[in-house]
Amino acid sequence: MIQKTMDLSLGKVKIKIGNKTLMEDPVFFAGPCSVENLDTMRKIACDLKEMGVDVLRGGAFKPRTSPYAFQGLKDEGLEILSIIKKEFDMVISTEILDLRDIEKAADIVDIIQIGSRNMYNYVLLEEVGKLGKPVILKRGFSATVNEWINAAEYILNIGNDQVILCERGIRTFETTTRNTLDLNSVAYLDRNCRLPVIVDPSHGTGVRELVKPMALAGIMAGADGLLIETHVDPDSACSDSQQTINMDTLREIMKNTSEIWRLT
Ligand code: PEP
Ligand code: MN
């Protein structure tokens, strides 16, 4: 019987990402919302690698609210990620939406992302968990912390304890920003849950200028890392352009994060 993660007495789960261990150093997950084409992905990977970003992220399969919006390059996107992984020797993370894509992604993707819309898809959680790779479990946008932890338990209970919780904002009465980034949850989980937690200030705010302050606030709240949508030319991004930052802003965030990390 696997213990509940909310049990304070359990030791922290240490997940190794590249050369770092989550919880010991801040880990950066960065890259575009969607994989767009090989050339752009090469430029992005080149800059991110040079900056010391730990994980390159990019969506091949995109869960879009409108069925008419860009749905991602799908298999072609996975192929691009596979080429980039070989060329740049980077740790790759991408979202899996569908059971049918798990096998294809298994050889290419190092860290599987479960998106906010699929946090309640327990069959998908179990099947993805069976790969034995780290899983980023994004919080459902209307999920309570307790429901989120229970979703994580579906992965833990099949024997995979490499779950990274990602606070990406919840839907509230507030409409000024795309979501309300719930940093209470981050401070709470830091004290009450043995799983690492990262913050996604891109979806959490939906506003480019708010990404840096909320990224730093996330670290102060106790996050173990940041997941940030970043592009060489954010205005041209195929999806979530309004919340995507450029390389210079990411560089500033990384510098400021290392300055404040020791304060947390
Ligand atoms: C994403 O990370 O690109 C994404 C779609 O996130 P979320 O599931 O949090 O909306
Ligand atoms: Mn996005």
pTM to 2 decimal places? 0.96
Is the distance from the beta carbon of residue 27 to the nearest atom of ligand 1 less than 6 Å? no
**Lowest-confidence segment of 2-16, 50-64, 214-228 by average pLDDT:** 2-16
How far is ligand 2, taken at its centre, from the CA of residue 229, in Å?
A: 7
Q: Is the C-alpha dihedral spanning 53, 246, 109, 155 positive or negative?
A: positive
Q: Is the C-alpha dihedral spanning 22, 26, 27, 32 positive or negative?
A: positive
Is the distance from the beta carbon of residue 168 to the nearest atom of ligand 1 less than 6 Å? yes
β-sheet bridge partners, residue 227: 29
Looking at residue 5, its pLDDT comes to: 55
Q: Percentage of the chain with pLDDT > 70?
A: 96
How far is ligand 2, taken at its centre, from the CA of residue 59, in Å?
A: 8
**Lowest-confidence segment of 12-21, 71-80, 84-93, 202-211 by average pLDDT:** 12-21
Question: What does the radius of gyration of the chain's CA atoms come to, in whole angstroms?
Answer: 17
Specify whether the CB–CB gap between 164 and 172 falls below 8 A.
no
Is the distance from the beta carbon of residue 138 to the nearest atom of ligand 1 less than 6 Å? yes
Residue 166's region, left for phi above 0, alpha for psi from -120 to 50, else beta, is beta
Which residue lies with its CA nearest to atom 8 of ligand 1?
115
Confidence of residue 18 (pLDDT cuts 50, 70, 90): confident
Residue 206 has φ and ψ, to the nearest 5°, of 75, 10
Indicate the average pLDDT of the chain. Answer: 95
- pLDDT above 90 for 1: no
Which residue lies with its CA nearest to atom 9 of ligand 1?
116
Measure the CA–CA gap between 170 and 172, rounded to whole angstroms.
6
Neighbours of 41 (CB within 10 A): 23
- pLDDT above 50 for 227: yes
- pLDDT above 80 for 259: yes
Q: Which residue has the higher pLDDT, 198 or 14?
A: 198
Is 1.10.10.10 the CATH classification of the domain at 6-261?
Answer: no
- The atom of ligand 1 lying closest to the CA of 59 is 3
Secondary-structure breakdown of the chain: helix, strand, coil percentages, each rounded to the nearest 5: 40, 15, 40
- 80: number of CA atoms within 13 Å, CB side? 25
- Give per-residue pLDDT as tens, 101-153: 999 999 999 999 999 999 999 999 999 999 999 999 999 999 999 999 999 99
- pLDDT above 50 for 12: yes
- pLDDT above 70 for 6: no
Is the distance from the beta carbon of residue 115 to the nearest atom of ligand 1 less than 6 Å? yes
Looking at residue 23, its pLDDT comes to: 86
Is the distance from the beta carbon of residue 59 to the nearest atom of ligand 1 less than 6 Å? yes
Is the distance from the beta carbon of residue 77 to the nearest atom of ligand 1 less than 6 Å? no
How far is ligand 2, taken at its centre, from the CA of residue 240, in Å?
A: 5
H or E element, residue 165: strand 163-167
- The atom of ligand 1 lying closest to the CA of 138 is 9
